[in-house]
Amino acid sequence: MIQLTNITKSFGRHQVLNKIDLTVQKGEVVVILGPSGSGKTTLLRCVNYLEKPNDGEILIGDYRLNCKHASKKDIYQLRQKSAMVFQQYNLFKHKTALENVMEGLVVVKKLSKEEAKTRSIALLEKVGLGSKLDAYPSQLSGGQQQRVGIARALALEPEVILFDEPTSALDPELVGEVLAVIRKIAKEGITMIVVTHEMGFARDVANHVVFMDGGVIVEEGTPVELFNNPQEERTKQFLKRITPELNYSI
Amino acid sequence: MKLDPSFIWTALIQLLSAIPTTLVITAVSVTIGFIIGLITALLRIYKIPVLSQIAAGYVTFIRGTPMLTHLLLIYFGLPMLVDALSAQFGWSIKSSSIPMIGFAFISFSITAGAYMAEVIRSGLLAVNRGQLEAAYSVGMTTPQALRRIVFPQALAVSLPNLSNSVIGMLHGSTLVFTVSVVDINAKAQIVASTNWKFFEAYLAAAVIFWGLTLLIERITAVIEKRINLYNRGGVA
């Protein structure tokens, strides 16, 4: 289980997150929606401690961290509980697809090279890149790079995988292959928090949808509740703008 | 005076014996300079209080003064310092026991360090922040992330400029004649002093320096090809 309590973050005087509480059950897929600047990406980055929250508490699995008194060691511990898939992929540029997936296993998890390699190959095959093991990121398409990114996150067997707009940087044609992979692993019961603008994906895959605006959670619920029967005015407005077909599909 | 082509060859042969001195001075100053440069660059990038200001001061002072001046300052200043310390703490080290080439090692390392600090800093800054974040996200500590992810990429970016520094130090090493160390250039002067055929001797020295420089360029090209295997991008 992942539990965020009272997460607060400001950049200078600009308050980005205002006392956010969020609970994600094991095996759940939570999608965070919201306009840009709503703080959704920052929230995700706080879970991985790429942003340091000013206040609050993060619980992942059995590891609890108080953001006010977090030592370096605590942060490293917390980071090992989660893995991140980035909007810009952020694959290690100087390493091949296989080495990218192996890196964390060898350096952080201290697996032997052989074991790491076997596991990494299996994962790359799973995301459909068994034939690209020795390709460098610069030789891969955006969709392929992002699938390597997903394999890299999966390899660590984290409690939760965090997806930060995983398809936003992709050509429309390549979005499908990445979403297919995310769907596939969602079915395997891996806990995920996904920030995305893909409404179709959110509807199909999410167990729970969270709508954020202005640094707070405006509304949350099941996809059916949130998409078909939003309660808050701000949510209605947002959904109307982002999915105009809703107007006549009901 | 007429050109004596045969003496160019004679001088060239005699100059060969001074090549090791030049290479050792270059290698030592570049190696220690690289370490100093790396530390200086990291202090500045991470804005470590006090130390980063000292690092910035070091870079601006050294780059703002000639290499020859560094050598002379070390040559005249270091003995005073050593003797004063020896007297203070009762050490048995005497400044006269420092070999001449030692002054060159120390001063040129300091020179190289300041220039390389900026080269390395630019290389580190060229690495996308996302690379570091990805390293953190897989659970690496900062030292692990720097060593395994950031440094290799920064090195690849800095390589052309680093080779420039190495060549600069190779040529700068000719200044050691001022502290009576015989490098290639000093040797040329000695060789010519018997028959006054300075032009021929210096021409021979030039040929050797050019040869060494070509060698450095070649080695850089090979390394560059190797570590830039991953980089199919850029404007080229």
- The stretch B36-55 carries a mean pLDDT of 96
Please indicate whether, in this complex, the C-beta atoms of A107 and B148 are within 8 angstroms of each other: yes
pLDDT score recorded for residue A105: 95
The answer for A 135-174 residues in CB contact with B (under 8 A) is: 136-139, 152-153, 156
Kindly report the backbone phi and psi dihedral angles of residue B217, in degrees, each rounded to the nearest multiple of 5, phi listed first: -60, -40
Nearest CA in chain A to B149: A92
| Fold entry, domain B20-182 | MetI-like fold (1.10.3720)
Backbone angles phi, psi at A245, to 5 degrees: -65, -20
Chain A residues with CB under 8 Å of B141 CB are: 72, 76
User: How many residues does this entry show for chain B?
Assistant: 236
Contact status of A119 with chain B (Cβ, < 8 Å)? no
For the ranges B83-92, B100-109, B144-153, the lowest mean pLDDT is seen at B83-92
Tokens coding B232: 């199919």
User: Rounded to two decimals, what is the model's pTM?
Assistant: 0.86
ipTM of the complex: 0.91
Between CA A244 and CA A24 the distance in angstroms is: 29
Domain definitions of chain B by residue range: 20-182
Interface check A132 vs B, CB under 8 A:
no
Amino acid making up residue B17: S
Contact B140, B148 (CB under 8 A): yes
Alpha carbon separation from B114 to B15, B33, B73, B123 (Å, rounded): 31, 8, 16, 15
In order along its 250 residues, chain A shows pLDDT tens digits of 899 999 999 998 899 999 999 999 999 999 999 998 899 999 999 999 999 999 999 999 989 999 988 899 999 999 999 999 999 999 999 999 999 999 999 999 999 999 999 999 999 999 999 999 999 999 999 999 999 999 999 999 999 999 999 998 888 888 989 999 999 999 998 999 999 988 888 888 899 999 999 999 999 999 999 988 999 999 998 888 876 554 555 5
Model confidence pLDDT, tens digit, residues B6-15: 999 999 999 9
A14-24 vs A192-195, strand pairing mode: unpaired
Residues whose CB falls within 8 Å of the CB of residue A125, separated by 6 or more in sequence, listed in order: none
Q: Which B-chain residues 116-155 have CB contacts (< 8 A) with chain A? A: 128, 130-131, 133-141, 144, 148-149, 152-153
pLDDT for res B44: 96
What is the pLDDT at residue B235?
46
What mean pLDDT, rounded, does chain B reach? 92
Structural contact between residues A90 and A41, judged by C-beta atoms closer than 8 angstroms: no
